[in-house]
Structure 1
Amino acid sequence: MQWHSLTSAEQLEKIKEESKTQPVVIFKHSTSCSISATAKSRLERQWPDAGLTSVKPYYLDLLSYRPVSNQIAETFSVRHESPQLLVIKDGQCQYHGSHLGINLQEVKKLAS
């Protein structure tokens, strides 16, 4: 799994455009939270076998870039949670899951 760093609110417009040609995942991670670390580890372990090669994954360090997280919530009309995984497709959030409820099978359905 090759994460792409999400560090600025300006990248959200690029992500919306990218999502028109391929699904995009945004993973919001709190580096000080053990549940978030567990969710990230699960994602990284399960990703290779989940058949998500067409999905571009972005990683947001929530503690370093909290304003970007706030902008994600506003741009995609989702409540802020951490950890949180969003699937952006056709410029809109099609799925969001949080904590240990993040489900790669749901992501795979949207990626097909």
Structure 2
Amino acid sequence: MEQMNELTTLEQWNKIWERSMNMPIFVFKHSTSCLISARAFKQVKALPERGKVDCYLVKVIESREVSNQIAEDTSITHKSPQIFLIYKKKVLWNTSHWKITKSNMEKEVSRVFE
């Protein structure tokens, strides 16, 4: 994935949440102090750019307010690392820790476009 925009404000998150009405998005919650999260981040960055799905990063320690709002808006308890595939303001898929892999993400993206 060539570019991953970081979400640091609630205003940014609200725009991305609305954007999911038009296209699927990945949101990756990353803990900068966790080795498991560092490994998961490498997997997320390895996802090839398809132009079909935008990917966003939330550093959970530095942007706790955004992380908490995502948990509230999605009704999914916070974990980190954690990734969501969101489309039309619905979480189509989410997972955490060791299950965050390039192959799992590719599989879920392909299901959206079947």
Distance in 2 (alpha carbons) for counterparts of 1:89 and 1:39: 22
Number of paired residues? 109
Q: Distance in 1 between matches of 2:77 and 2:50?
A: 25
CA contact (8 A) 1:52 1:108 kept: no
In the TM superposition, residue 52 of structure 1 has moved relative to its aligned partner by 3.8
Counterpart Cα distance in 2 of 1:9 and 1:94: 22
Which residue pairs with 2:83 in the alignment?
85
Where does structure 1 differ by over 4 angstroms across 4 or more consecutive aligned residues? none
Instruction: Indicate if the aligned counterparts of 1:31 and 1:61 stay in contact, CA closer than 8 A.
Output: yes
User: Which of 90, 93, 106 lines up with 2:108 in the alignment?
Assistant: 106
RMSD (CA atoms): 1.5
Structure 2: gaps of 5 or more residues: none
Map 1:6-85; keep pairs closer than 5 Å. Answer: 6-45=7-46, 47-48=47-48, 52-85=50-83
Report the more deviating stretch, 69-78 or 99-108. 99-108
- TM (norm. structure 1) is 0.88
CA distance, structure 2, for counterparts of residue 77 and residue 66 of structure 1: 16
* 1:23-44 deviation per Cα after TM superposition (whole angstroms, max 9, x unaligned): 0110000011000000111221
> For each residue in 1:30-64, what CA deviation from the matched residue of structure 2 results, as whole angstroms up to 9, or x when unmatched?
0110000001112212x11xx74310000011110
AA matched with 1:110: V
Shift of 1:110: 2.3
Question: Do the aligned partners of 1:82 and 1:99 also contact (CA within 8 Å) in 2?
Answer: yes
- Is the 1:26–1:57 Cα contact (8 Å) retained in structure 2? yes
